[in-house]
Amino acid sequence: MEKELKVLPLIPLRGITIFPHMILHFDVGREKSLLAIEEAMLNGQEIFLVSQREAKIEEPEEKDIYSIGTICNIKQILKLPGNTIRVLVEGQNRARLTSYIQKEPFLKTDVEILEYEQCKDKDKCEALIRSIEKEFEEYARLSNSVSPEALENLDDLDDPGRFADIISSYLTLKESKKQELLEAYEVYDRLEKLLLIITNEVEILKIEKKIGLKVKSKIDKSQKEYFLREQMRAIQEELGDEDESKKEIEEYSQKISKAKLPKEVKEKALYELNRLNSMGNYSAEGGVIRTYLDCILDIPWNKRTKDNLEIKRAREVLENEHYGLKDVKDRIIEFLAVKSMSKSLKGPILCLVGPPGVGKTSIARSIANALNRNFVRMSLGGVRDEAEIRGHRKTYVGAIPGRIVNGMKKAKSKNPLFLLDEIDKMSGDFRGDPASALLEVLDSEQNKTFRDHYLELDLDLSEVMFITTANTLDTIPRPLLDRMEIIDVSGYTYEEKFHIAKRYLIPKQFEEHNLEKGKITFSDRAISFIIENYTRESGVRSLERKIASVIRKAIADMLERDKVKITITVNHVNKYLGPEIYTYDKADKTDKVGVVMGMAWTGYGGDTLPVEVSIMPGRGKLQLTGQLGDVMKESAEAGYSYVRANADKYGINPDFYKEKDVHIHAPEGAVPKDGPSAGVTMITAMVSALNNKKVKHNVAMTGEITLTGRVIAIGGLKEKTLAAFRAGIDTIIIPKANEKDLRKIPKSILSKIKVILAEKIEDVLENVFVEESTNDND
Ligand code: ADP
C-alpha cells in the first residue's frame, strides 16, 4: 500500500493521548507550541499531536516523545488570559513520526499516515467487538463516567478500527495504556488489546466498588437513621404529635426542677430527659426512659414528715388501738423513749415475733400513727431472688425497681415506718441471696447509700424506721437476727379475745359495713360462743372473719325480714355459721390407756397434740407414725430406751420387749410434727400402755427428757398453756426449769389451771394415772 507522507508542525502533549475521530480541547502555553499552532493555522490547520513519555518534562527532546501520534484538524482557537490559548481539535489519522525537520523555533516533522487494514477474519473481529461492547457497558455502569448517548452512538459504527478508537477515547486509562492502544496499528490487534484492557478495568472497578460499599455502608447506616428520624419528626409534625412530645418534655422538665432532687439525681434525670428528647415519640427506648423518669420523680428524695416523739401521746395511741399486749407496748415505749433522747431513730431494728393474727402488723401501724410517720408494708414471704429486693438492671427487658424502692415510692416520705413482713419466710436460691441484700437495707452504716440496680442512684434509707415481723425465729438468717431486737407477741387468752372482739373487731366491722350504731349488737354469750366453737387460733384473724361473716348474714336477715335492729345471740351464731367446728370441751372427757395429751408449739401458735401408744405381740420393735420429724423420732427412741432401762421401777416386765412391739402414733397424720418437747408425753403413753393404766383426760404435758429421766426446759410455754386451756385441760405438767415463764401467762388463766412442775420423769408419772387399774382398754 502506498504510504502518504506529510510535513506538519508537532506539539508534544502532556498527560493526554488523542485518538482519531476524537474531539478534544487542550490549553497551550509553551512558546514552541504556540508557534507550532500559528504555523498550522497558516497551512491547512493540520497539526501532529504526539504524547510525551513523561508529562512533567518542560522541554522535551526526541527521546522524550513517542513516535506515533495523531494528525488533527484545528477547529477553534480561544485566547485565554496570560498568553495561553485553548485549542479545539479533532483527531483524523494515526501517523508515525519519521524524522524531525526542524526543532527550533518550533518542532516540524515528517509524518507518515498509517492507514490500517480492515479485518481479515470478520467473525473473529465481530466476536471481539461484541465482547468489548458488553464489557464497555459494564464499564460505563460501574464508572459513571460515560454518557448514555455515547453508548447509543456505538451501535451505528460498522468500522471496527474506528469503533476501537472511540471506545479507547472514553476510557480513563494511564497514559502508557492509551499509547499502547494508539500504537496498535492492526485492527485485530487493537481490538484484542482493548478487550484485555477494558476487562481488566472492569475488574478493578468492581473491587473498588466493593471496598467503597463497605466503607460507605458504615457511614450510610448512621445517615439512614438520621434520615428516618427526621422523616418521623416531619410526620409527627404533620400529625401534630410534635407538640405533644414537646409538651411532654416540657412537663418532665418542670417536674424535675420542682422536685428538689439531690444533685446526682437531678443530673441523671436531666441526662435521661435529654435522651428522651432526641428520641422519636414512638421508640421503644423512649418508653423505658419515661418509666424511669416517672420512677425517679415518684421517690420522696427530700420529703419528710415531722416526727412526734412525745411518749405520752405514743402510749395513748398504742392503748387506743390495741387491747392487751402490755409487754409489747412497754417495750415499744421504752424503745421510743431512748430514741427521743437521742433524737434519732437509728439503732436496732424491732422484730415482732408471734403467730399470725396477733396484731403484729396492726401494732406496727399504730407505732407509725404514734410517731406521725407514713406507713408502708412489704411482705418478704416467698422472696427468693436478690433482684426482688434490689431490682433488675435497666438493660433487662421489662426491668423494674426492687421492692424497697417501690415501698419508698408508696411511702411518699423519706422517713416512713417501713414494715418488712414475714422476714422468716424468705429464702435464697441460685439467683442470689435476698437476705444479704436485706442486710444492707437494714444496716444503718450502709443504708445511707442503698443502690438499686434499676435506679442506679444512691437512695438514702437512713431515716427510715424499719420494723420486721416473723412467725418464728428459727428460719431467720443469723446475721439478720443479730441486727434485730426481738419482741415476742404471743397468743391471746379467751378473755383477751373476748375483749378484743367486743372493743375492736366488732366496731371495726360495723364501720367497714357502714352500719349505724345500735343496729346490730352482739350478746356477750354470742361472742364467747364464736371464740370457743368456731375458732382455734392464737391470734384473732379467723375470729375477725367469723364476726364479719355473722354481720353480713345478719344484715341480709334484717333486710329480708324487714327488721331495724338485731341482737346476735348464740342461736343466731349457730344459724349463720353452721354447726360448731371445734368442740373439745365435750369430746375426750374419758380417761384412756396409752393416750396422753401433749402440748405443742408451732409457728402458728400453740396447740394440743395427743400421743397414742399401742402394744402388740412382737419382738421389741419400735414403730413411729404420724409424720414425726427427726428430732421427735429421736426423742421417741430415747424415751423407749428409758422405759426399757427402768421397766421394773414402774412395775413393767423388763423383758417385755422380747415378746412385744411398741407403736407410737401422733394423730392428725397429715400435719408434720417435730421438736423434743413431746419426750415426757411419749414416755407417759408407753408406761400407760405397758402397764395398762388409764391416764387422766384433763392433764396435758410438755417437756424434753434425757436418758436418765431428767425433764428439761422447753420453749413457747405461754402459747402451749393457752392452747391447752382452750382445749379444756385443767392441769398441766411442765418442766421445773420453765417456772420462770409462768409469769407471762395471764393470771386469769393461771387461776383456773393447776400447774405441776416436774424435774424428773417420776414427777410426771406420779401425777397422771387414774388410781384404780383396769382391764378395760377403752
Ligand atoms: P399479724 O400481723 O400478727 O398476722 P394483724 O396485725 O394482721 O396480725 O392482726 C389481725 C387483726 O387482728 C387486725 O385487724 C388487728 O387489728 C386485730 N388485732 C390483733 N391484735 C389486736 C389487739 N391486741 N387489739 C385490737 N385488735 C387486734
Q: Do 437 and 464 fall into the same domain?
A: yes
Q: Do 676 and 544 fall into the same domain?
A: no
Q: Ligand 1 atom 10: the closest Cα is on which residue?
A: 357
Label residue 230 left, alpha or beta by phi (over 0 means left) and psi (-120 to 50 means alpha).
alpha
Binned at pLDDT 50, 70 and 90, residue 42 comes out as confident
- The reported pLDDT for the residue numbered 2 is 56
Binned at pLDDT 50, 70 and 90, residue 468 comes out as very high
**Mean pLDDT, range 361-379, rounded to an integer:** 91
Q: At what angle do helices 160-170 and 187-239 cross, to 10 degrees?
A: 40
Q: Which of the listed residues 536, 557, 582 is the one where a domain comes to its end? A: 582
| Local structure of 11: helix, strand or coil | strand
**Element containing residue 13 per DSSP (H, E):** strand 5-13
Rounded CA-CA distance 683/644 in Å is 10
The domain spanning residue 38 has which CATH number? 2.30.130.40
C-alpha 379 – ligand 1 centre gap (Å): 16
- Cβ contacts of residue 163 below 8 Å, gap of 6+? 129, 132, 154, 157
pLDDT at residue 680 greater than cutoff 50: yes
Q: Ligand 1 atom 19: the closest Cα is on which residue?
A: 359
The domain spanning residue 318 has which CATH number? 3.40.50.300
Cβ–ligand 1 contact at 331 (below 6 Å): no
Q: Ligand 1 atom 15: the closest Cα is on which residue?
A: 359
Q: Do 330 and 199 fall into the same domain?
A: no
Q: Do 567 and 595 fall into the same domain?
A: no
Identify the bridge partners of residue 95 per DSSP, sorted by sequence position. Answer: 69, 113
Residue 303 domain-assigned (yes or no):
no
Q: List, for residues 186-195, the tens digit of each pLDDT value.
A: 888 888 888 9
C-alpha 360 – ligand 1 centre gap (Å): 6
Q: Which of the listed residues 150, 184, 215 is the one where a domain comes to its end? A: 215
Cβ–ligand 1 contact at 361 (below 6 Å): yes
Q: Do 423 and 316 fall into the same domain?
A: yes
Rounded CA-CA distance 73/425 in Å is 105
Residue 170 domain-assigned (yes or no):
yes
Quote the domain boundaries for residue 676: 586-777
Cβ–ligand 1 contact at 606 (below 6 Å): no
**Other CB atoms within 10 A of residue 32 CB:** 18
- The reported pLDDT for the residue numbered 586 is 46
Residue 479 domain-assigned (yes or no):
yes
Binned at pLDDT 50, 70 and 90, residue 48 comes out as very high
Residue 306 domain-assigned (yes or no):
no
pLDDT at residue 235 greater than cutoff 80: no
Q: Do 328 and 284 fall into the same domain?
A: no
Residue 352 domain-assigned (yes or no):
yes
Known binding residues for ATP are 354-361
Nearest to 458 by CA among 466, 467, 468, 447: 447
Residue 140 domain-assigned (yes or no):
yes
Q: Which of the listed residues 582, 598, 614 is the one where a domain comes to its end? A: 582
Rounded CA-CA distance 437/405 in Å is 13
Q: Ligand 1 atom 18: the closest Cα is on which residue?
A: 359
Phi, psi of 106 (to 5 degrees): -140, 170
C-alpha 540 – ligand 1 centre gap (Å): 7
The domain spanning residue 526 has which CATH number? 1.10.8.60
Domain count, the chain: 6
Identify the bridge partners of residue 605 per DSSP, sorted by sequence position. Answer: 602
Q: Do 594 and 688 fall into the same domain?
A: yes
164, 190 in Cβ contact below 8 A? yes
Rounded CA-CA distance 190/170 in Å is 15
Residue 155 domain-assigned (yes or no):
yes
Binned at pLDDT 50, 70 and 90, residue 778 comes out as very low
Q: Do 106 and 240 fall into the same domain?
A: no
Read off the C-alpha cell for 340: 427521743
Q: List, for residues 519-563, the tens digit of each pLDDT value.
A: 899 999 999 999 888 887 888 999 999 999 999 999 999 999 888
Q: Do 251 and 330 fall into the same domain?
A: no
- Establish how many alpha carbons lie within 13 A of residue 503's alpha carbon, considering only the half-sphere containing its beta carbon: 12
Q: Do 545 and 502 fall into the same domain?
A: yes
Instruction: Give the nearest ligand 1 atom to 354 CA.
Output: 3
Q: Could you say which DSSP state residue 44 is in? A: T
Phi, psi of 509 (to 5 degrees): -65, -40
Q: Do 396 and 483 fall into the same domain?
A: yes
The radius of gyration computed from the CA coordinates of the chain, to the nearest angstrom, equals: 53
Q: List, for residues 66-102, the tens digit of each pLDDT value.
A: 989 999 998 888 887 778 888 888 988 889 888 888 8
Per-residue H/E/C for 465-480: EEEEEECCCCCCCHHH
Phi, psi of 68 (to 5 degrees): -110, 130
Cβ–ligand 1 contact at 491 (below 6 Å): no
**Mean pLDDT, range 585-603, rounded to an integer:** 78
User: Which residue type is seen at 508?
Assistant: K
- The reported pLDDT for the residue numbered 703 is 94
Q: How many residues does the chain have?
A: 778
Read off the C-alpha cell for 341: 433522747
Cβ–ligand 1 contact at 603 (below 6 Å): no
- Residue of 503, 504, 509, 546 with the most ligand 1 atoms within 8 Å of its CB, for mutation: 504
pLDDT at residue 3 greater than cutoff 90: no
Cβ–ligand 1 contact at 358 (below 6 Å): yes
Q: Do 325 and 438 fall into the same domain?
A: yes
pTM beyond 0.85: no
| Residues catalogued as catalytic | 677, 720
